[in-house]
A and B are shown apart, each in its own frame.
Chain A
Amino acid sequence: MIDARGMSCPLPVVMVQKEVKKNAPKKLQVQVDSMVCVENISRYAALQGYEVKTDKDGDDFVLTLTKK
């Protein structure tokens, strides 16, 4: 799981982009702590052909990206 909590824009997306480009995972989980990051990663993931499921984890969020 990528822990992108507390990172400024656009680093959470950069972290996801790096992993997607390097390993092209079929499934990827990302932990973030703001709705802005949820929105940004969701838009990027959709462009890369991933389905995104968002779950609340206390005050944080866990995004599960699954390749379509």
Chain B
Amino acid sequence: MKKRINPWIIVTGVLVGAAAVALTAMGNPKNMGFCIACFLRDIAGATKLHSAAVVQYVRPEIIGLILGAFLTAVATKEFRSKAGSSPATRFLLGAIVMIGALAFLGCPLRMVIRMGGGDLNAFVGFAGFVLGIVIGIVFLKNGFTLKRNYDSSVGEGFVMPGLALLLLVLLLAVPTIFAFSEKGPGSMHAPLIASLLISLVVGALAQRSRICMVGGMRDGIMFKDFNLLLGFAAIFVTVLIGNLILGSFKLSFAGQPIAHSDHLFNLLGMVLVGWGSVLLGGCPLRQLILAGEGNGDSAVTVLGMVVGAAISHNFGLAGAASSVAEDGTVNPGGVSPAGRIAICIGLVILLCISLVNTFVKKKEAK
């Protein structure tokens, strides 16, 4: 049985959990040590693709994850430029996954981190995430495919690592070209060098372990293969222990950091994330790692997620965190009517993409 488990998966899970707790202790927003959706959104803000003043920062974690995966893939000879598997569909799926994640206020990774902090809203999101995965599996079992990719020019695989490096150089050389939040989550961050180094290591380990938040649940249900689920569990347990040690564990719906209790749309937002990620073949973290390994389709997906983040904030679709005003008035936050409509449109689009790529393809094959 041991042979069936990739030993890196538990090491990676523990390290991701520990990194999330450490980065939070060093300044990252609470329960947000590592959140791919939030950090891509902050980069979208810093590069002025949206103008939400509280979520703008060039997150070194994203740069480190991509470059860590890239360097490891090159070192292990797994770097390979590939592309051509329905790129436009993947771009759209990336954007929809991001809109769902930002309504809930977190990608699957932050969902686990929030669960480890005792945020019961994240357990509601988790239910939606699993539901979305199950819906995606139904289509996979009936023949869903975005068709295969092919070897592409060597340069294709270097686009995303190159962009990450360019972003880092610009951040260090001319930071004034970016927008940086002065208050709110975007203003909270660990020291750049700590974020970069930790995420380089996490990126390297994620490449080796193939850790994927959606893959664990999917493979467990489809193949009784619980390898990737161990990574998911390791992150949860590590964050839980870390929060208990640091005294930051609080089991409740209300008063959670950067969260809201709009249960139905927390759930439906994460249905979008689970379903969309199954169709894409991996969660947002996994897409970043694959983009670092030379996968052009995943690079397009990541760009779709960045645009999805910009759409979310430009059109007021992202969830608003609950907050307490100075006079003690509680603003419950939640998902705006526009955000609710966007989630419903996202569900319809996912259904269309699922149906077309499952059944129309079958007809062609006859």
CA distance A47 to B1 in the complex (A): 9
Q: Tell me if B225 and A43 are in contact (CB < 8 A).
A: yes
**Known: A6-B148, A6-B150. Contact between A36 and B210, CB under 8 A?**
yes
Contact call B80/A34, Cβ cutoff below 8 A: yes
Residues A39 and B148 in contact, CB atoms below 8 Å apart: no
A47 and B145 contact, CB distance less than 8 A: no
Pick from B4, B151, B215, B297: contact of A9, CB below 8 A.
B215
A10-B215, A39-B6 known; A44 vs B281 contact (CB < 8 Å): no
Q: Nearest Cβ in chain B — how far from A52, in angstroms?
A: 11
**CB-defined interface of A1-45 with B at 8 Å, one 1/0 digit per residue?**
000011111110110010000000000000001111001100110
Q: Which of B80, B150, B223 makes the CB contact (< 8 A) with A10? A: B223
Taking CB atoms and an 8 Å cut-off, the chain B residues in 130-168 that contact chain A are 140-141, 145-146, 148-151
Q: Contact size class for B?
A: 20 to 34
Contact B224 A47 (CB under 8 A): yes
**Contact among B4, B80, B141, B222 with A46 in the assembled complex (CB-CB below 8 Å):** B4
- Distance to closest chain B CB from A32 (angstroms): 11
**Binary interface profile of B, 212-224, with partner A (CB < 8 Å = 1, else 0)?**
1001001100111
User: For the complex, what is the distance from the CA of A15 to the CA of B222, rounded to whole Å?
Assistant: 12
A6 B149 Cβ-Cβ under 8 A: yes
Closest to B148 in A: A6
Interface of A is mostly: helix
Please state if B280 and A8 are interface contacts (CB–CB under 8 Å): yes
Q: What's the tally of chain A residues with a CB closer than 8 Å to chain B?
A: 21
Least Cβ–Cβ distance between B226 and chain A, in angstroms: 10
User: Contacts A35-B78, A44-B225, A46-B4 given: A10-B140 contact, CB under 8 Å?
Assistant: yes
Cβ distance A12 to chain B, nearest Cβ, rounded Å: 10
Q: For the complex, what is the distance from the CA of A17 to the CA of B222, rounded to whole Å? A: 10
Q: Is the CB of B140 within 8 A of A11?
A: yes
Q: Is B3 an interface residue (CB 8 A)?
A: yes
Select B140's contact among A14, A36, A46, beta carbons within 8 Å: A14
B149 nearest CB neighbor, chain A only: A6
Chain A residues near B145: list those with CB within 8 A.
7-8, 11
Residue of A with least CB distance to B222: A10
Residue numbers in A under 8 Å from B297 (CB-CB): 8
Which A residues are CB-close (under 8 A) to B146? 8
Assuming A10-B218, A10-B281, A43-B225, is B78 touching A34 (CB within 8 A)?
Answer: yes
- Which residues does chain B contribute within 8 Å of A8, judged by CB atoms? 85, 145-146, 149, 280-282, 297
30 contacts between A and B (CB under 8 A): A6-B82, A6-B84, A6-B85, A6-B148, A6-B150, A7-B145, A8-B85, A8-B280, A8-B281, A9-B215, A9-B282, A10-B140, A10-B218, A10-B222, A11-B140, A13-B223, A14-B140, A14-B141, A17-B223, A33-B82, A36-B210, A39-B210, A43-B4, A43-B225, A43-B227, A44-B223, A44-B225, A46-B3, A46-B4, A47-B223
**Contacts A9-B281, A13-B223 given; 19 further ones with Cβ under 8 A?**
A6-B150, A8-B85, A8-B146, A8-B149, A8-B280, A8-B297, A9-B215, A10-B140, A11-B281, A13-B225, A14-B140, A17-B223, A34-B78, A39-B6, A43-B225, A44-B225, A46-B3, A47-B225, A59-B80
* Residues of A bordering B, CB below 8 Å: 5-11, 13-14, 17, 33-36, 39-40, 43-44, 46-47, 59
The 4 closest A-B pairs by CB, nearest first: A6-B148, A8-B281, A6-B149, A9-B281
